[in-house]
Structure 1
Amino acid sequence: MPDTTLPPPVVPPNVIPPRSGAAFRLARGQVLEVVDIMGTQVSDLLAFNADDVREVISNGRTFDYEETLKLTTGNTLWSNRSQPMLKLLRDDAGCHDFLLTPCSEATFRHFYPHQPVHRGCFGNLAEALAPYGIEPDAIPCAFNVFMNVPFDGDTGRLRVDPPRSQPGDVLQLEAQMDLVIGLTACSAYASNGGTFKPIGWRIV
């Protein structure tokens, strides 16, 4: 009989365990791949200018210059100083969010009053970015990779649905300056369809 066993998932060299985060440097011209290893998992992404961490990724500047809320291949993520930071080169999932802030202890108290409080992506990012001199109050709205936040065009009301990303889906971003990157495997129930899985990343 033919072997119908599915091959094991391709795991990137760097794996962020469920409900945790990491930070690392990304040089100008290097390409970061964020990989949804198992599918249906969000990753909060932050970028800071490695030479001056007061320059940081900005959703407002990005929406303004890209003239869209739906960012995908060919779009650029901009800084608060109107400089390009990351260019999207490949987007398997085609669905991300740049509206909602990283989940935090306050988020869990507000939305999940009957669940244990978790420090969330905000706490994980704060810990991971501290060695780079980045304080919690400097953490902005993250680019939420693979997050699915549809909104009503008439009322503006939004909701958080499970991600549409499949196992092995990749978002590829090219650094436009030397960066410090913060990255998580998101901790919020609704963002990830009620389960928590790892996120992979590699620099190519």
Structure 2
Amino acid sequence: MPEAYGTAYGTIVAIPPRSGTAFELDAGDTLAVIDPEGGQVADLLAVSRADTREMISSGRTLDYAERIYLTTGDKLYSNRSNVMLDIVEDTVGRHDFLLTPCSEATFRLCYDDEPPHQGCHGNLAGALRPYGIGEDAIPVAFNCFMNVPVDGETGRFKVLPPLSKAGDRIVFRARMDLVIGLTACSAPASNGGSFKPIHYSVRKAGDAAP
């Protein structure tokens, strides 16, 4: 289980390197995803608690935003075109919503010089299993802090180290009752070749800001 401890943000939960967790948000709750050391990606999934077949959708979100880089003021939509999360604060401004969670196959196909690992897909599947969510149902995640520049002429992209520095954060407000899956990403290229923890904090609706 992740380790919880107190800071100026309130109660922060630490997700250890190359692992993941799941937890619930109520409508109106605020979730801060924090990069405590800098240069670390966190894969985020949102699933409706009312019907777990309703999940965060990259395709719907990018279609409605009409751009691929999302930040403060943008909304994350479900596969049913309902708003699941609002981005209410962002100190980085560069995240990815194109690439699927890394998996055992990612390591087999893209990192043949690395030991095999179940990746974010496996970590999300394990964390979401108690909610009845199967691994084949896991969609493209919102990759907090992931830096994927796209060439405007060719459409080719690169995975570069995150731009996030120690203490950077992205903050979401839930628009419905949700299950959240969240990881400290396991792919070397996504994290500049190293693996670090991710922190998160939940503030309940109606609670005063820290």
What does 1:1-204 align with in structure 2 at a 5 Å threshold?
13-204=12-203
The amino acid across from 1:18 in the alignment is P
Task: Find the aligned partners of 1:73 and 1:41 in 2 and give their Cα distance.
Answer: 20
Contact 2:150 2:158 survives alignment (8 Å): yes
Task: Find the aligned partners of 2:12 and 2:82 in 1 and give their Cα distance.
Answer: 30
Ranges in structure 2 where 5+ consecutive residues have no aligned partner? 1-6, 204-210
Contact 1:11 1:37 survives alignment (8 Å): no
- For the residue of structure 2 that corresponds to 1:47, the secondary structure is strand
For normalisation by structure 1, the TM-score amounts to: 0.94
Task: Find the aligned partners of 1:60 and 1:199 in 2 and give their Cα distance.
Answer: 26
* Deviation for aligned residue 1:13: 2.0
Ranges in structure 1 where 5+ consecutive residues have no aligned partner? 1-7
Task: Find the aligned partners of 2:128 and 2:85 in 1 and give their Cα distance.
Answer: 18
Task: Find the aligned partners of 2:53 and 2:42 in 1 and give their Cα distance.
Answer: 22
Contact 1:39 1:166 survives alignment (8 Å): yes
Name the structure 2 match of 1:5.
Answer: none
Task: Find the aligned partners of 1:49 and 1:110 in 2 and give their Cα distance.
Answer: 32
What CA deviation, in whole Å up to 9, does each residue of 1:81-108 have, x standing for no partner? 0000000000001110000000000000
Q: Give the percent of matched residue pairs that are identical in Structure 1 and Structure 2.
A: 60
Task: Find the aligned partners of 2:169 and 2:95 in 1 and give their Cα distance.
Answer: 12
The amino acid across from 1:153 in the alignment is G
- Per the alignment, do residues 195 and 189 of structure 1 end up closer, same or farther by CA in structure 2, a change over 3 Å counting? same
Contact 1:15 1:200 survives alignment (8 Å): yes
The amino acid across from 1:104 in the alignment is S
The amino acid across from 2:24 in the alignment is R
Q: Say what the alpha-carbon RMSD is for the aligned residues.
A: 1.4
Task: Find the aligned partners of 1:12 and 1:184 in 2 and give their Cα distance.
Answer: 18
Task: Find the aligned partners of 1:107 and 1:87 in 2 and give their Cα distance.
Answer: 30
Task: Find the aligned partners of 1:44 and 1:150 in 2 and give their Cα distance.
Answer: 17
For normalisation by structure 2, the TM-score amounts to: 0.91
- For the residue of structure 2 that corresponds to 1:13, the secondary structure is strand
- Per the alignment, do residues 102 and 65 of structure 1 end up closer, same or farther by CA in structure 2, a change over 3 Å counting? same
* Deviation for aligned residue 1:136: 0.3
Task: Find the aligned partners of 1:9 and 1:25 in 2 and give their Cα distance.
Answer: 22
- Per the alignment, do residues 29 and 11 of structure 1 end up closer, same or farther by CA in structure 2, a change over 3 Å counting? closer
Task: Find the aligned partners of 1:19 and 1:10 in 2 and give their Cα distance.
Answer: 23
Task: Find the aligned partners of 1:39 and 1:33 in 2 and give their Cα distance.
Answer: 15
Task: Find the aligned partners of 1:10 and 1:186 in 2 and give their Cα distance.
Answer: 22
What CA deviation, in whole Å up to 9, does each residue of 1:9-54 have, x standing for no partner? 9895201000000000000000000000100000000000011000
- For the residue of structure 2 that corresponds to 1:35, the secondary structure is strand
Task: Find the aligned partners of 1:147 and 1:11 in 2 and give their Cα distance.
Answer: 25
- For the residue of structure 2 that corresponds to 1:109, the secondary structure is helix
What CA deviation, in whole Å up to 9, does each residue of 1:175-203 have, x standing for no partner? 01000000000000000000000000010
What CA deviation, in whole Å up to 9, does each residue of 1:87-142 have, x standing for no partner? 00000011100000000000001111011010000000000000011110110000
Moved over 3 A (4+): 8-12
